[in-house]
């Protein structure tokens, strides 16, 4: 079991703007209004090393919006432990993690729209990000329409 899977079992994510896959891959991310998707995927990093430096930097997450994908699982968006935090995730049908993205200053994500395999998540602070639900690193999305 990977570090992110262990955290997810407790409904926790690291307090770090990042994209995590269940298989253990993690990437720094940044909200980016100039990017077509509303965010940028940056460098990969080792979550185990980040956790060694400060294992207490985790946030409990709670969902505010969900989209049922049937046999393909769920999309979930919500909030962290503090008012400024937000997260989005794709889960398996039994709610195990496929991938999750956390932002420390996005505010909670409380709306999800799905069009084909592209999901658009909107936060209470007005941030909107779009992801390919199969691979959120995919930059080839149509530009966001606000």
Q: What is the DSSP string of 39-51?
A: EEEEEEE-HHHHH
Ordered per-residue pLDDT tens for the chain, 146 residues: 999 999 999 999 999 999 999 999 999 999 998 998 999 999 999 999 988 888 889 999 999 999 999 999 999 999 999 989 999 999 999 999 999 999 999 999 999 999 999 999 999 999 999 999 999 998 666 555 55
What span, in angstroms and rounded, lies between the C-alpha atoms of 146 and 143? 10
Tell me the β-bridge partners of 109.
123
> What ranges do the domains of the chain cover?
3-132
What span, in angstroms and rounded, lies between the C-alpha atoms of 67 and 30? 24
pTM of the model as a whole:
0.93
What span, in angstroms and rounded, lies between the C-alpha atoms of 141 and 109? 20
How is residue 129 written in tokens?
A: 């990000």
How is residue 22 written in tokens?
A: 């269940």
């Amino acid at each position: 079991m990977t570090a992110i899977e262990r955290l997810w079992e407790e409904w926790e994510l690291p307090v770090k703007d990042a994209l995590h896959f269940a298989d253990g891959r993690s990437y720094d991310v940044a909200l980016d209004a100039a990017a077509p998707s509303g965010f940028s995927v940056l460098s990969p990093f080792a979550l185990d090393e980040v956790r060694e430096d400060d294992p207490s930097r985790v946030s409990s997450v709670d969902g505010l919006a969900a989209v049922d994908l049937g046999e393909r699982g769920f999309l979930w968006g919500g909030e962290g432990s503090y008012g400024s935090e937000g997260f989005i995730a794709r889960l398996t049908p039994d709610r195990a993690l496929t991938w999750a993205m956390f932002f420390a200053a996005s505010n909670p994500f409380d709306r999800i729209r799905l069009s084909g395999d592209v999901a658009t998540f909107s936060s209470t602070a007005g941030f909107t990000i779009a992801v390919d639900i199969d691979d959120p690193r995919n930059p080839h999305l149509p530009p966001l329409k606000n």
